[in-house]
Structure 1
Amino acid sequence: MFDTVLVANRGEIAVRVIRTLRSMGVRSVAVFSDADADARHVREADDAVRIGPAPATESYLSVERLLAAAARTGAQAVHPGYGFLAENAGFARACEEAGLVFIGPSADAIALMGDKIRAKETVRAAGVPVVPGSSGSGLTDEQLADAAREIGTPVLLKPSAGGGGKGMRLVRDTAVLADEIAAARREARASFGDDTLLVERWIDRPRHIEIQVLADGHGGVVHLGERECSLQRRHQKVIEEAPSVLLDEATRAAMGEAAVQAARSCGYRGAGTVEFIVPGSDPSQYYFMEMNTRLQVEHPVTELVTGLDLVEWQLRVAAGEPLGFGQEDVRLTGHAIEARLCAEDPARGFLPSGGTVLRLREPEGDGVRTDSGLSEGTEVGSLYDPMLSKVIAYGPDRETALRRLRAALAGTVTLGVQTNAGFLRRLLAHPAVVAGELDTGLVEREVDGLVATDVPEEVYEAAAAVRLEALRPRGDGWTDPFSVPSGWRMGGEPKAAAFHLRVTDPVEHTPRGTHTVTGDRVTVTLDGVRHTFHRAADWLGRDGDAWQVRDHDPVAASLNRSAHAGADSLTAPMPGTVTVVKVAVGDEVSAGQSLLVVEAMKMEHVISAPHAGTVAELDVAPGTTVAMDQVLAVIAPTDDATEETA
């Protein structure tokens, strides 16, 4: 076994790997960019090395700097986690050439399975069924469009490199193929440095089932059962569970054997995942999609139902040990479900969010596990992936696991950064989810009913209570009556205090209930119902939901509207970086025309013209870093557009 392992990653996965290294008595070395100098994974490692400035291209994606850090600290092996260089064949090969053990498959296996086109051809030759789609690599835009028309819509455009849903586009109308291919290439190039695409038939209402495999360097290959990953948004998994309620024992065994054959076809070594698309109406008709040559985000659910530590087995296999157990020794016991906690705002279309974690409370207890890279004071920026942590629940059956996970999400507090915890809790209570009637489109179909857009009155009541408490006089002695929020006034009847507040739209709120403010808790009672909130600065949280309640100045707002009379300001919907600017000051634009692209946490957001007009101001250029709600451009409407708006 190794003495020292360098963890070439950050956030929750780095913390997770370090935990197993510590339990095995192996010294851990963390790496960090300037943005992560005080991050949790840095504090928990035995040693840590700075590898560069905040941009990932100059730090976490720098092979040269990672290898130098390994050499400086005497590391014998490198664990890549997931994301960044985890599926980069060049990095695996560079580690080998530097005398380091790459904790994962060989560079050849990564290259083969990382190219989705070659991977499909390889596993097809091994007898594994694959999704019908385009053939060959390096297809031009026109060749991709021709293949899509030949297959027939709907089709799915997919990058040949990478994963995680980045660059994927579902196309139902051939008229938009050119635009969608261009967008898919752009995102694939930004995410993976490779814009090669393929096109596949889209299977309506499919289920996404993946099989965990484990292979040693001595010819031993086993599968550890399946994970159901059908609950997705924009092709990104949000909830995963093991086992799947869809599969019976015969189908489970058949899919498991297909996954083993796929692993053998590329000479796989270590932990990996073979992903299948499965028609919900006929689970026996499953198709290979791709193989992820790394540890998966959702690996904890497999660990909980098998009792195996997958990171430990990655280390043992990389050190040359045989598995020491066969397929007949693998048992699935109980049920586990995982929810991905991300820095995103469901009420704003799931746009990435950011900020400083002011108050943190992560769930724990019987049957609950949290894998997290967070701590109070953590700065969540726009440079890296939005996933912050994972909350996992285990139980003897699915009903128990669901109940425990909903309760755990309700008890999750992450104030200062907007997250999807409340949305996930509501999703897990949806009747179709409870019944196990899942498909990859369920979340998108039901999303409007799962997102809390209205701000409950008790939120404003709690915010007003905090402000009232701050205004109350402290100490003994004479008190200026004008400083007491009693509503007292000279020559008139007392008037209850009112506060101008804003979460999304401004409101004037007059407290009408009773309240108690104690430390980081606020309790208000309205209409006989008691509500308790966590609080930090101007943030309030309850049951996984959070609200930033700001003070609103109606006079200043009115002056700002007057300053922009006759024009529309376009603001940044999220903190991020402007990557594309398509217009200049003075340009005439049409309603709905694409003007700018803002990117944050590997997500692109197009800023379009709200109406026809002229670009009156343009305050950004490609590469400009912007804050949420920062003005990007001002579009002066034409007379027709003004009348239409009125």
Structure 2
Amino acid sequence: MFDVVLIANRGEIAVRVIRALRRFGIRSVAVYSDADADALHVRLADEAVRIGPASARESYLSVERIIEAALASGAQAVHPGYGFLAENAEFARACEKAGLVFIGPPADAIEAMGDKIRAKLTVAAAGVPVVPGRTEVGMTDDDLVAAAAEIGFPVLLKPSAGGGGKGMRLVESEGGLREAIESARREARGSFGDDALLIERFIGNPRHIEIQVLADAHGGVVHLGERECSLQRRHQKIIEEAPSPLVTPEMRDAMGTAAVEAARSVGYVGAGTVEFIVDGASGDYFFMEMNTRLQVEHPVTELVTGVDLVEWQLRVASGEPLGFASVELTGHAVEARVYAEDPARGFLPTGGTVLALHEPSDVRVDSALRVGLTVGSDYDPMLAKVIAHGATREEALRRLDAALGRMVLLGVTTNIPFLRALLVDPDVRAGALDTGLVERKLESLVRHDVPDEVLAAAALERQLSLGGGDDPWAGSGGWRVGEHAWTRWLIDGVEVRVRGDEVAIADNEPFRLAVARVGDRLIVGGRSYAIYRDGDVLWLGRDGRAWALTETRPSEVAASGVVAGGGPVTSPMPGTVLVARVPQGSHVTAGQALFVVEAMKMEHTVTSPVAGVLTEVHVQAGQQVALDQPLAVVVPHEE
């Protein structure tokens, strides 16, 4: 076994690997960019080496800087985690050339499976079923258009390099095909440095099921059962579980055998995942791709098999043979990914500083969160994973939902309420899953409202925090001889009036709520809220939800001046302006694309809200922008 291992990654996976190394008594070396100088993985590692500025291309994606850090620290091996350089064949070769053990598969296997076109041809030759489509090398835009006509719509465009849904586009008709090809190539080029695309038949109502494999350097290959990963948004997994409620023992054996053959076909060594798309009606399965690394969702496999995958990555990389030929699945495990994103705004990335944090202790939490952590737009928005195990699927789902309800994360808007809504959905509880379920039910899963009791809690806390004790001149509540007066607040634009323990919201009748502060909690009407005040913004957290409420006295609110839907066009997320399509002074139509903003490898097109004239343009391509920052001003034609 190794003495020193460098982790070429960040966030929760770096923390996960550091803790595994600690169990073996192996010295851990972290790497960090300027954005991560005070990150949790840096604090936990035995040693940490700076590798560059916040830009991933100049830090976590720099092969040269990672290798330099490994050699300078005396590391004997490098664990790539997932993402960044984990599936980069040149990085694996660079490690070997520098005398470092790459804790992953051989470079040739990464190369074979990293190119989806080559991968499909390779596994098909080994007898593994593949999705019908065109997988030729070097297809032009015209070739893709012609292929789509042959296959028939809908079709799926996929980057030949990379994964995680980046650059993937579902195209329903010929009309949007060329624009989708342009967008997919641009995103693939930005994410993977390669804009080659392939095209496949889109299988309606599919299930996404993957098989975990382990292989040693002595010819041993074993599968560890399947994971169901059908709950997705934008082709990105949200909730994963093991085993799948669809898969029978016979189907598991057949898919497991196919996965083992796929791994053998490229001389695979280490931990890897073979992904299949499954027709939920017929049970037919097709190879999609092989991820030549540890998966984000690996904890669910660990919990049902008792196999520590990071431990076996280390053992295999140090030359040990696998000590088993099969595994037994025990119970059920479900994982939820906590993202810095706002489901109510189309899952756009968010950001901010973690102001208050409580992670549940009775389930597994893989996390790099800490109070004071700044969540920016430089990297992937996943913050943590919460994983529950139970004797049955129902128990695991129930335990995970309860754990998410106890999680407190103030300062950054997350998808936790959405995850809880998804976990109690009747179809999810019944195991009737497919990759389109989230999109079909999105409106019912996303909550836009701020409950009246939360508005009341914010107003009462404001009164409590500004209270003047027994001195009437120091109080904030207003008073007159014989009785208290009402104090009016605007809480997120809603008028809330407070008088003592009475609260009235808008024009509704007043009601009474007892309020008290106990440590860092606010108790209002018997409900307990986590609380953090940041100037005029009050964060309240309860049942896994978090509200950032802006408090203003009505007299301080100015008229907006925005008429007929015109006015400022703002950025929907913090990020970088990739494209500024229309110059100042141009006439634009409603819905016309004005800008493309990118953050955390996600592109979003900003359109004009109305037909009018672009009287002001405040940004240009390459410029960093904040959430809701004005990009331009559109004046409607009527004005």
Q: 1:178 to 1:61 in 2, by over 3 A?
A: same
Q: 1:71: which partner in 2?
A: 71
Question: CA–CA distance in 1 between the matches of 2:528 and 2:443?
Answer: 26
Q: 1:278: which partner in 2?
A: 278
Structure 1 contact 51–65 (Cα < 8 Å) conserved: yes
Question: CA–CA distance in 1 between the matches of 2:182 and 2:17?
Answer: 37
More deviation, 532-541/80-89: 532-541
Structure 1 contact 517–523 (Cα < 8 Å) conserved: yes
Q: Which amino acid aligns with 1:500?
A: L
Q: How does 1:323-472 map to 2 (within 5 A)?
A: 323-327=322-326, 330-365=327-362, 368-472=363-467
Structure 2 contact 564–636 (Cα < 8 Å) conserved: no
Q: 1:612: which partner in 2?
A: 611
Question: CA–CA distance in 1 between the matches of 2:553 and 2:11?
Answer: 38
1:498 offset after TM fit, Å? 2.1
Instruction: Give the secondary structure class of the aligned counterpart of 1:267.
Output: coil
Q: Deviations over 1:400-430 (max 9, x none)?
A: 1011000000011110001111110110000
Instruction: Give the secondary structure class of the aligned counterpart of 2:441.
Output: helix
Q: Deviations over 1:90-145 (max 9, x none)?
A: 11111111111110001110011000000000000000000001131110011011
Structure 1 contact 597–604 (Cα < 8 Å) conserved: yes
Q: 2:219: which partner in 1?
A: 219
Q: 1:484: which partner in 2?
A: 475
1:489 offset after TM fit, Å? 3.4
Instruction: Give the secondary structure class of the aligned counterpart of 2:241.
Output: strand
Structure 1 contact 568–634 (Cα < 8 Å) conserved: yes
1:514 offset after TM fit, Å? 1.7
Q: How does 1:62-211 map to 2 (within 5 A)?
A: 62-211=62-211
* Number of equivalent positions: 623
1:628 offset after TM fit, Å? 1.0
1:483 offset after TM fit, Å? 3.0
Structure 1 contact 105–268 (Cα < 8 Å) conserved: yes
Q: 1:128 to 1:341 in 2, by over 3 A?
A: same
Question: CA–CA distance in 2 between the matches of 1:157 and 1:191?
Answer: 15
Structure 2 contact 455–496 (Cα < 8 Å) conserved: no
Question: CA–CA distance in 2 between the matches of 1:289 and 1:55?
Answer: 31
Question: CA–CA distance in 2 between the matches of 1:596 and 1:76?
Answer: 47
Structure 1 contact 465–517 (Cα < 8 Å) conserved: no
Residue identity over aligned pairs, in percent, reads: 64
1:482 offset after TM fit, Å? 3.9
Question: CA–CA distance in 2 between the matches of 1:558 and 1:436?
Answer: 51
Moved over 6 A (4+): none
Question: CA–CA distance in 1 between the matches of 2:18 and 2:179?
Answer: 43
Q: Deviations over 1:336-383 (max 9, x none)?
A: 000000000122221111000000101111xx1000011111100001
1:493 offset after TM fit, Å? 6.3
Q: Which amino acid aligns with 2:124?
A: R
Instruction: Give the secondary structure class of the aligned counterpart of 1:558.
Output: coil
Structure 1 contact 458–531 (Cα < 8 Å) conserved: no
Q: 1:555 to 1:195 in 2, by over 3 A?
A: farther
Q: Which amino acid aligns with 1:487?
A: G
1:464 offset after TM fit, Å? 1.1
Q: Deviations over 1:304-328 (max 9, x none)?
A: 001011001001111111012112x
Q: Deviations over 1:459-504 (max 9, x none)?
A: 1111112111111125xxx72x2432343137x96432221111xx
Instruction: Give the secondary structure class of the aligned counterpart of 1:144.
Output: helix
Question: CA–CA distance in 1 between the matches of 2:63 and 2:218?
Answer: 29
Instruction: Give the secondary structure class of the aligned counterpart of 1:636.
Output: strand
**Where does structure 1 lack aligned partners over 5 or more consecutive residues?**
none
TM-score normalised to the size of structure 2?
0.95
Q: Which amino acid aligns with 2:415?
A: N
Q: 1:594: which partner in 2?
A: 593
1:560 offset after TM fit, Å? 4.6
TM-score normalised to the size of structure 1?
0.94
Question: CA–CA distance in 2 between the matches of 1:24 and 1:59?
Answer: 28
Q: Which amino acid aligns with 2:596?
A: V
Q: 2:507: which partner in 1?
A: none
Structure 2 contact 521–530 (Cα < 8 Å) conserved: yes
Question: CA–CA distance in 2 between the matches of 1:493 and 1:541?
Answer: 33
1:449 offset after TM fit, Å? 0.6
Instruction: Give the secondary structure class of the aligned counterpart of 1:561.
Output: coil
Question: CA–CA distance in 1 between the matches of 2:565 and 2:222?
Answer: 67
- Say yes or no: does 1:631 pair with 2:613: no
More deviation, 541-550/222-231: 541-550
Question: CA–CA distance in 1 between the matches of 2:435 and 2:491?
Answer: 39
1:556 offset after TM fit, Å? 5.3
Q: 2:508: which partner in 1?
A: none
Instruction: Give the secondary structure class of the aligned counterpart of 1:204.
Output: coil
Q: 1:155 to 1:567 in 2, by over 3 A?
A: closer
Question: CA–CA distance in 1 between the matches of 2:497 and 2:437?
Answer: 37
